[in-house]
Structures are given as C-alpha cells and as structure tokens.
Amino acid sequence: MNVAVGARTDVGQVRDGNEDSYLLDEPLFAVADGMGGHLAGDVASSLAVDVIREGAGEQRVSDGDALAALVRNANARIYEKAQADASLRGMGTTCTLLLVRDDHAELAHVGDSRAYLFRAGELSQLTEDHTLVERMVREGRLSKDEAQHHPQRSIITRALGVDATVDVDVLSVELSEGDRLLLCSDGLTSMIDTGAIARILSDEADPQAAADRLVEEANGAGGEDNITVVVVDMTTAAGGRAAPPPPPAGDHARTDERPRADRIPHAQSPDATGAHAAAAPAPPRRRPWLRRVVVGVVVLAVLAGIAYAGVRYLLDDSWFVGVDDDGTVAIYRGIPEEVAGLTFSSVERETSLALDDVPESMRDQLEEGIKADSLKDAQAIVARFERRSRDIGGDAGRDRRSRDRRDDNTSRREAPSDAGRAAA
C-alpha cells in the first residue's frame, strides 16, 4: 500500500505562539506538543522531531522497538539540553510517532497527543493518554465525557525531556486499504469531540482537506490551544494516490523532502518556507507559561496529596485522651499537637468524666492529651482515670504507690509498650 498525507498546524485563537511540531518523513510521521516557558516548549517539540528524523536517517526503522528507541533518544537529548540551559529547564514534549510499513502501523507514544484509526466510518483511539484525567477514567473516578471537559485535562503524567529516561508505549495495528490514520495534538481533541472528528474524516475524502477542516473546526470551537493534525491515508499501490497531493498555497503538506522536519517556526522567526509562517501568523508576544505553571501546580498537589495521605494515616491510626470544650474527658482520634495552628483530631467518644473530677495533679497531663496506642488503649486510660477519681473522691490518701505506678504507665503511652498496656 501507499500513503496519501495531509497535515496542518495552527497557533489557535488564544495562544501567543505555536509549540507543536510535526514530522512528515514517509514512512515516519509524528506529532509533538511542547510545554515550557518562553521558547522552551517549541525547543522541546522541534528537537524531538529533529532527533527522530536524524535517527531514522541513520538506520532502518522497521518495528515498534526501533521507534521506541528513537523516542527514548529524543527524550535523552531534550533532557540534556534542558539540564545544560537554565532557561530551558522544565521543558518537555509529547510525542506520537507513527511508522507505516507494508500493511502495518507501528506507533511509539508518550503524552496526550493521540493516534486514531478511522476505518469504515468508525473512529477508534489507538493511543492511551498519559494524563491525570485518563488515569482517573481508568480508576472509574471520571467518565470519558467528564474527562473531555475536565479543567485539568491537559495535565500530562509523561513527557519527553522531563526525566533522564521515559517509558514509551509501543503498539502495532494491521492496516487495510482505505484506512485513515490521524495523529493530533490535544488542541484538536480538547476542542471538538470524536463525533465531530469522525464526521470530518468521513466527509473529506482528501487528506489535506480533512486536515484543514479539522483545524478550522477546532478554531471555530474556540481554538484554545495550538492545533496540529496529520492525516495518513492507506491507498492502493497502483491507481490510488501514490503520493500526497501538492500542498495548497499557504500550507505545508510534505512527505518527500528528506531530510527535514516539519515544525512550526515562531512567528517572530519564520523559517525559509513562508508557508510555515503563514500557519502561525501571531505577532511576537509573551509565550504562554500556563502549561508549565499547571504542571508545577500538579507536582505540588501530588506532594500535598502524599503529605495529606500521611496525615490521614496518622489521624486514622492515632488516639489520645484529652478534654473537650465542655471540660469533659474525651477520646480523640488524631494527634493532640497543633501543626501550624491547625488541629488534626476529632472527638471519637465522649466520657462521663469531667476534668474537675480528675485529681488536680493530673489535669495538665489530660489537657495536653495523653497518647494511646489504640481505641482500646484509650478506653483503658479513661477507665483508670475513672477509678482514680473514685479512689480520690472516696479515700483521698489511699494507695499513693499504686497511683504513682499508674502515672508511670500512663506516660509510657508516648512510647508504645505492650508491657505498659498489660500493666494497665
């Protein structure tokens, strides 16, 4: 089979620059969606595409493992560059790389750009998004539809350039004549749903016309992000479109100009092909920081989540005996200490024992909170206080030695001890 290709990228309606890049280097095709402040996102996505193209030029890429190696190599190169240049630190990019080989498609994939197969009017997503919302969908905490509109849908959990190594998804699909493959950045899929995408792919027989309309409709729906689409049609070896149609003026479908990457230049530094500049006509303005900020917020949220989980664990499994606002002795779940002015405890059980009933010498200790190893242990402490109160009330001077021993046991709750509990 041969292929016919259409592609387009667009800055969208909101962003200041286009940080997406794509590669048309038959039989290799890719979409990369960069993130990072200033120029970093664009550096990351264009470097991914460049490294992949160079790597593919040096060796015959024939299977998914070889594709994954190209992506891992791109990751290493982006990571090195980010480490070497403080202004680029934190940059990253998605990468969805497609190899069309005979009657197979091989894919290597990291991030939330997507590959779809459109076959017999049905659109199916081949790649899995490496995003927080996708994880929540898998865990049953969000529906697919909720994920599509979730405010944090663009937060990705895997990207090239963020770490020295990266996990790359590899998949393979058998192809038939008439199949249409779509690679796209999330600027398409976050703006129009799969029904609209399928309708366009069905309506527009020409791959370039399909690519153009996908971008137009995403822009029409708001164009909140950069939009990049690559449409690859499987055609017959003879008689079909053996080569992609010539790119219309102002566009840049290209399959045979090896070696070169098709990526989007900055509007402020248009590359040699004016066609590219036409695709990204925004005047030079501030680069978007949003995605980087969002990733930072997520990292903080994850750390806070871990800390919260730790506190929750602490709360659920910690006990103490203290005094509530009414001056009544109570059993608390949590810890008696305040942290940064916050309390981490709640009353688990009230008792009928008033602080006033407790011998004066022990009230400070109770008001500070006496830690217990378990609810049962806390109940035992309360029972001892009740006994003591009765003892003191009935016979104030009786059995001082016994009382001292109990004090000793009580204080040992701070360092859990079976012997202490047994003695209680």
Secondary structure class of 299 (helix, strand, coil)? helix
Segment (H or E) for 279: helix 274-279
Q: For residues 258 and 263, give the distance between their C-alpha atoms in angstroms, rounded to a whole number.
A: 14
For residue 369, the Cα-to-chain-centroid distance in whole angstroms is 41
Q: For residues 153 and 236, give the distance between their C-alpha atoms in angstroms, rounded to a whole number.
A: 38
Smallest distance from the beta carbon of 225 to Ca ion, in angstroms? 4
Report the residue number, 185 or 255, with the smaller CB distance to Ca ion: 185
Report the residue number, 74 or 99, with the smaller CB distance to Ca ion: 74
Q: For residues 34 and 185, give the distance between their C-alpha atoms in angstroms, rounded to a whole number.
A: 10
Q: Which of 228, 315, 216, 273 is nearest to 45 (CA)?
A: 228
Q: List for the chain the helix, strand, coil content (%; round to 5).
A: 40, 25, 35
Question: Which of these ranges, 177-185, 227-235, 249-257, 317-325, lies near Ca ion under the rule CB under 5 A?
Answer: 177-185
**Considering the rule CB under 5 A, would residue 129 count as an interface residue with Ca ion?**
no
**Considering the rule CB under 5 A, would residue 112 count as an interface residue with Ca ion?**
no
Smallest distance from the beta carbon of 17 to Ca ion, in angstroms? 12
Which one of 129, 186, 217, 373 is in contact with Ca ion (CB under 5 A)?
186
**In degrees, to the nearest 5, what angle opens at C-alpha 130 toward C-alphas 219 and 313?**
125
Read off the tokens for 120: 């017999």
Read off the DSSP letter of residue 131: B
Report the residue number, 42 or 225, with the smaller CB distance to Ca ion: 225
Report the residue number, 10 or 225, with the smaller CB distance to Ca ion: 225
Smallest distance from the beta carbon of 33 to Ca ion, in angstroms? 4
Q: For residues 95 and 259, give the distance between their C-alpha atoms in angstroms, rounded to a whole number.
A: 19
Q: For residues 114 and 359, give the distance between their C-alpha atoms in angstroms, rounded to a whole number.
A: 71
Smallest distance from the beta carbon of 20 to Ca ion, in angstroms? 7
Question: Which of these ranges, 168-176, 210-218, 220-228, 341-349, lies near Ca ion under the rule CB under 5 A?
Answer: 220-228
Question: Which of these ranges, 127-135, 181-189, 355-363, 392-400, lies near Ca ion under the rule CB under 5 A?
Answer: 181-189
Smallest distance from the beta carbon of 273 to Ca ion, in angstroms? 23
User: Dihedrals φ, ψ of 304, to 5°?
Assistant: -60, -35
Smallest distance from the beta carbon of 186 to Ca ion, in angstroms? 5
Question: Which of these ranges, 142-150, 171-179, 180-188, 343-351, lies near Ca ion under the rule CB under 5 A?
Answer: 180-188
Helices and strands: H and E segment counts in the chain: 13, 16
Report the residue number, 12 or 55, with the smaller CB distance to Ca ion: 12
Report the residue number, 17 or 244, with the smaller CB distance to Ca ion: 17
**Considering the rule CB under 5 A, would residue 217 count as an interface residue with Ca ion?**
no
DSSP assignment of 360-380: HHHHHHHHH-EEESSHHHHHH
Smallest distance from the beta carbon of 370 to Ca ion, in angstroms? 56
Site string for Ca ion, 18-47 (x = CB under 5 A): ---------------x--------------
**Considering the rule CB under 5 A, would residue 225 count as an interface residue with Ca ion?**
yes
On whether the CB atoms of residues 44 and 111 are closer than 8 A, the answer is no
Report the residue number, 15 or 276, with the smaller CB distance to Ca ion: 15
Report the residue number, 184 or 267, with the smaller CB distance to Ca ion: 184
Q: For residues 115 and 188, give the distance between their C-alpha atoms in angstroms, rounded to a whole number.
A: 12
Task: Return the C-alpha torsion angle 37, 38, 43, 48, nearest 10.
Answer: 20
Report the residue number, 12 or 247, with the smaller CB distance to Ca ion: 12
Question: Which of these ranges, 71-79, 130-138, 221-229, 339-347, lies near Ca ion under the rule CB under 5 A?
Answer: 221-229
For residue 208, the Cα-to-chain-centroid distance in whole angstroms is 32
Smallest distance from the beta carbon of 313 to Ca ion, in angstroms? 37
Smallest distance from the beta carbon of 283 to Ca ion, in angstroms? 20
**Under rule CB under 5 A, how many of the chain's residues touch Ca ion?**
5
Sites of contact with Ca ion (CB under 5 A): 33, 185-187, 225
